[in-house]
Amino acid sequence: MPSAIDIVPAVATRREEATGFFQNLVSKGLGWARKNSLWQYPFVTACCGMEYMSVASARYDIARFGAEVPRFSPRQADLLLVVGTVNCKQAPILKRIYEQLAEPKWVIAFGVCASSGGFYDNYATVQGIDRLVPVDVYIPGCPPRPEQVLDGLMLLQKKVQAQQHKLIDRLPAHPAAAE
Ligand code: SF4
């Protein structure tokens, strides 16, 4: 009895090509689902928070992009929105929250303070959150307009769709488990 993979000669003639075809199909489907259901963790520290609220409210309606659900537990979120100035005392907190986010995860730096420290060029302010966590999209502006935020979100959606997704992302086995 031929396997499902062997029945795809119209699309691919080799087993590896057929496997690649199905993997791409699954990846695209997962990418589509993930980009349209981003669950955000808002790490709001300063005045950019007003703009964040504006994006979430009816006029700009972030729900149109499937990203309207803020979760205040990082384990239930996959998008870290860093909104506002981050000072050095907050740095370990931000890092821990990032580490606790569910995989796969993405980060948006919301406003110039989060992106580069903004005009707080001093010893107490983190000069860009990319010194602490990897950032996927930077949104400029002090504060950014809601349209800019939505633009940044759409950029992230494109990035998520273009990534390779797997049905099961297994972490490598812990060395102690092999003993
Ligand atoms: S970018 Fe401007 S509005 Fe946003 S937190 Fe910094 S100072 Fe405030």
* Segment 99-146, tens digit of pLDDT: 999 989 999 999 999 999 888 999 999 999 999 999 999 999 999 999
Encode 91-114: b = buried (16+ Cβ within 10 Å), e = exposed: eeebeebbeebeeebbbbbbbbbb
Residue 39 lies in a domain: no
Pick from 119, 115, 108, 118: nearest CA to 151? 108
Contact 133, 74 (CB under 8 A): no
The dihedrals phi and psi of 139, each to the nearest 5 degrees, come to: -110, 115
Residue 149 lies in a domain: yes
Residue 131's CATH number: 3.40.50.12280
Residue 167 lies in a domain: no
The DSSP bridge partners found for residue 107 are: 80
Residue 4 lies in a domain: no
Q: Tell me the whole-structure pTM to 2 decimals.
A: 0.83
Residue 150 lies in a domain: yes
Ligand 1: centre distance to CA 52 (Å): 11
Q: What DSSP character marks residue 151?
A: H
Residue 175 lies in a domain: no
The DSSP bridge partners found for residue 109 are: 82, 138
Q: What is the pLDDT of residue 12?
A: 58
Ligand 1: centre distance to CA 143 (Å): 5
Burial (0-12, 13-18, 19+ Cβ within 10 Å), 89: exposed
Q: Identify which of 86, 87, 108, 112 to mutate to test ligand 1's pocket (most ligand atoms within 8 A of the CB).
A: 112
Q: What is the pLDDT of residue 19?
A: 72
**pLDDT at 25 > cutoff 90:** no
Distances (CA, A) of 49 to 21, 62, 108, 115: 43, 15, 14, 15
Number of domain units in the chain: 1
Contact 114, 87 (CB under 8 A): no
**pLDDT at 176 > cutoff 70:** no
DSSP letter string over 84-99?
A: S--BGGGHHHHHHHHH
Residues in contact with ligand 1 (CB, 6 Å cut-off): 46-48, 84-85, 111-113, 118, 142-143
Ligand 1: centre distance to CA 51 (Å): 10
* Segment 81-105, tens digit of pLDDT: 999 999 999 999 999 999 999 989 9
Pick from 150, 151, 142, 138: nearest CA to 60? 150
Residue 64 lies in a domain: yes
Greater pLDDT, 83 or 21: 83
Domain with 105, as residue range(s), is 47-157
Residue 29 lies in a domain: no
